[in-house]
Amino acid sequence: MPNPLIEFRQLQKVYGSGNTEVRALWNVDLTIWPGEYCAIMGPSGSGKSTAMNMIGCLDRPTGGDYYFDNQNVASLDDAALAHIRNQKIGFVFQQFHLLPQLTARENVELPMVYAGVSRVERHQRAIAALQQVGLGDRLNNRPNQLSGGQQQRVAIARAIVNRPLLLLADEPTGALDTHTTEDVLTIFAELHRRGITIVLVTHEPDVARASQRIIWFKDGEVLNDHLCPADLGSFVTPSLRP
């Protein structure tokens, strides 16, 4: 049995204090194993993005423990966290977050610049990553010369180019139409087949159904952490619907 990739133990994230205190995450236990494909769902404000920020080592818990790839995140300094993010985690966001002045290839090369990869290898790996997401013919286009779906595919190429253990995506299809959403899900399925762990946040049942496991948040707690995608319909009652 491998070790968990992600392990929350009674994890808390509290913003503010006194009257303004918000328990964004409250005593969350959560274990995600290498190779899993999970979707995080739940109403607005339930703590999904906060959980993603924790998982992605962008923030530290205010209580409890978080172990990522066997390392206690609370014990690491900012430089160590940045190193983990660069080497082991790929991020995809709803609004793509590409740099507008750079071409698709240059955007994909960026994480490798930080990782100290040589120029020649950066070029080769960026081109291979863009080919993998079906954009081998758009290498030199800037983001404003690409459709939304194409921009998201560039962002996915950028996220995987350092060969991370984990792909984290917060509402990756939130800005896309149904057809382009399918393209992104096809790419995720292929990446998952190749062994990468995927955790995404979504409000869309059809996106969650493409995963293997749904984790349902409500009011900063995990209400169900092993919901089978096939059972989603019965679980999404009107009161829980995002």
Ligand X SMILES: Nc1ncnc2c1ncn2[C@@H]1O[C@H](COP(=O)(O)OP(=O)(O)OP(=O)(O)O)[C@@H](O)[C@H]1O
- Residues at the site binding ligand X, with contacts judged by CB under 6 A: 15-16, 22, 24, 42, 44-50
CA dist 126 and 84 (Å) reads 20
Contact 11, 59 (CB under 8 A): no
Picked from ligand X, Mg ion, none, the partner binding residue 24 (CB below 5 to 8 A depending on kind) is ligand X
Nearer to ligand X, 42 or 111 (CB): 42
Give the CA count within 13 Å in the CB-facing half-sphere of 84. Answer: 23
> DSSP letters along 5-70, please?
SEEEEEEEEEES-GGG-EEEEEEEEEEE-TT-EEEEE-STTSSHHHHHHHHTTSS--SEEEEEETT
Nearer to Mg ion, 47 or 64 (CB): 47
Is the C-alpha dihedral spanning 77, 34, 14, 9 positive or negative? negative
Task: Tell the smallest beta-carbon distance from residue 167 to ligand X (Å).
Answer: 18
Task: Tell the smallest beta-carbon distance from residue 199 to Mg ion (Å).
Answer: 13
Picked from ligand X, Mg ion, none, the partner binding residue 75 (CB below 5 to 8 A depending on kind) is none
Nearer to ligand X, 31 or 49 (CB): 49
The CA-atom distances, in angstroms, between 178 and each of 6, 12, 184, 200, 203 are: 31, 35, 10, 17, 14
Nearer to Mg ion, 49 or 87 (CB): 49
Nearer to Mg ion, 50 or 211 (CB): 50
Picked from ligand X, Mg ion, none, the partner binding residue 229 (CB below 5 to 8 A depending on kind) is none
Give the CA count within 13 Å in the CB-facing half-sphere of 37. Answer: 19
CA dist 112 and 52 (Å) reads 23
Nearer to Mg ion, 49 or 224 (CB): 49
Task: Tell the smallest beta-carbon distance from residue 230 to ligand X (Å).
Answer: 23
- Which residue number is nearest to Mg ion in terms of Cβ? 49
Q: Which residues bind Mg ion (CB under 5 A)?
A: 49
CA dist 7 and 125 (Å) reads 31
Task: Tell the smallest beta-carbon distance from residue 19 to ligand X (Å).
Answer: 13
Task: Tell the smallest beta-carbon distance from residue 3 to ligand X (Å).
Answer: 27
Task: Tell the smallest beta-carbon distance from residue 92 to ligand X (Å).
Answer: 15
> What stretch of H or E contains 185?
helix 178-193
Picked from ligand X, Mg ion, none, the partner binding residue 47 (CB below 5 to 8 A depending on kind) is ligand X
